[in-house]
Structure 1
Amino acid sequence: MTQSVVNVQQIEPGIVKVTMQERVHKNTFSDELTIGLIEAFAAIQANASYKVVILTGYDSYFASGGTQEGLLAIHKGKVNFTETNLYSLALECKIPVISAMQGHGIGGGLALGLFADFVILSRESVYTTNFMKYGFTPGMGATYILPKKLGFSLAEEMLLNAGNYRGAELEKRGIPFPVLPRGEVLNYALELARQIAEKPRLSLITLKDHLVSSIRAELSKVIEQELVMHDHTFHQPEVKERIIALFGK
């Protein structure tokens, strides 16, 4: 299966690679990328031969979060981020997912990666939850998954100050993920995928279901809380001004 901006390829028996390559919009969540990802994971769910997914981007981009049009639509109250549930694709996937984040993970793009079962970062890339830069509170499950995966103190800092963090800096801060030179991320992910693919598929599905069951159960409540915060914060005139100004840079 090949989408124009999402490529799905079985690279070895049991190992499927999903490559996000929305080059026009630098892997922001355009309609094409969103539809491509949803269709890709639906196809993976339906394929009984797959055992593990490698999710990655292209060049220096992993995933870059919302488009300007998408954020302005939320500001106007036309949509909300739950309409596609991109953030939960890796979490809801039956088989283990490896986020090979060889490039920048920005806003919802970072959250997308952190919901995977395994996360690999690159030293050169920028990772940020930049929601508050635009003046609205975080969504995409970021207020849950960052503390869960990175620890509360670092997550609170990243969510409140919306700063940019290179992978090398996060490594020094003690994050519990491998941080490698960009050129080594995919190879590391493939070796990890091979180790996973050695196991029986049923056992992988059963164990993942057990390990993430509490996350799946708790996430829906957090998403409701994030939507309430969006209702309070997203519709400020200043937010629209910030979205237009920041995307204009």
Structure 2
Amino acid sequence: MTEAVVSLQEIEPGIVQLTMQDRINKNTFSEELVTGLMQSFEFIQANSSYKVVILTGYDSYFASGGTKDGLLAINEGKASFSDLNLYSLALDCKIPVISAMQGHGIGGGFVMGLFADFVILSRESVYTTNFMKYGFTPGMGATYIVPKKLGFSLAEELLLNAANYRGAELEKRGIPFTVLPRAAVMDYALELARQIAEKPRLSLIILKEHLVAPLRKELSKIVEEELAMHEKTFHQAEVRERIVALFGK
């Protein structure tokens, strides 16, 4: 029997763990991974007993962003990142979400994790908003959530430079997240989830709604602006060349 690329399991009462494990595609946004995530969050939204979600990856991968085919489809005008609202699944989830980024968070994969209510990084892993490495401006709400979560100066550096940063380096730069050895990330996430799950579910839902309401309201405008930038930057011939070169032929 093949292993599902997204596994959903209630590991303790009220605590659901959502594990991305598309080993063939190294947790890029394959059709199977995207479908699995969206169906899983729909299931979570419909469940009246869950109180908190732990979103994580496998081994040394958290989430690796767009696939080669997906990026080329946008380059050719056949798709856009907003076709599926993957990036804000955690933000839109009514119960708190913990991003246990035990592995690499690349491009849209890192951005998706930042939309969670709690973020945990690993010291060994690479985190990058590498959109500009391909020559196109950032999408998936990156120009909004990265400055919101990391602060403007560091976010501007990450978004413009598109370089790779280890969790240990980001920790030294003063990011407001817990950064741990990879082997300790899930234990910490579970303990945090237990603390959250002690609270009444209704109170958790109401408080999260209040706290993230401004983000949900402002995000749609930012996404429109990112799409407008994509119209100017994504369809360049150089972008296609970079996608092909960076992914390999």
Cα offsets for 1:49-82 (capped at 9, x unmatched) = 0000000000000000000000000000001001
Q: Give the length in aligned residue pairs.
A: 248
Question: In the aligned structure 2, how far is the partner of 1:154 from the partner of 1:143?
Answer: 12
Three-state SS of the structure 2 residue aligned to 1:120 is strand
Three-state SS of the structure 2 residue aligned to 1:179 is strand
Alpha-carbon deviation of 1:163? Answer: 0.2
Three-state SS of the structure 1 residue aligned to 2:87 is helix
Aligned to 1:120: 120
Three-state SS of the structure 1 residue aligned to 2:138 is coil
Question: In the aligned structure 1, how far is the partner of 2:83 from the partner of 2:60?
Answer: 28
4+ residue runs over 3 A deviation:
none
Aligned to 2:154: 154
Letter in 2 for 1:224: E
Letter in 1 for 2:236: Q
Aligned to 1:19: 19
Cα offsets for 1:76-129 (capped at 9, x unmatched) = 000100111111100000000000000000000001000000000000000000
Aligned to 2:133: 133
Q: Does structure 2 retain, via aligned residues, the 8 Å contact 1:9–1:16?
A: yes
Aligned to 2:64: 64
Three-state SS of the structure 2 residue aligned to 1:241 is helix
Q: Does structure 2 retain, via aligned residues, the 8 Å contact 1:123–1:182?
A: yes
Q: Does structure 2 retain, via aligned residues, the 8 Å contact 1:52–1:95?
A: yes
Q: In structure 2, list runs of 5 or more residues that go unmatched.
A: none
Letter in 1 for 2:201: R
Q: Does structure 2 retain, via aligned residues, the 8 Å contact 1:3–1:36?
A: no
Question: In the aligned structure 1, how far is the partner of 2:246 from the partner of 2:109?
Answer: 17
Question: In the aligned structure 1, how far is the partner of 2:118 from the partner of 2:84?
Answer: 22
Aligned to 1:224: 224
Letter in 2 for 1:8: L
Q: In structure 1, list runs of 5 or more residues that go unmatched.
A: none
Aligned to 1:30: 30
Aligned to 1:184: 184
Three-state SS of the structure 1 residue aligned to 2:35 is helix
Three-state SS of the structure 1 residue aligned to 2:98 is strand
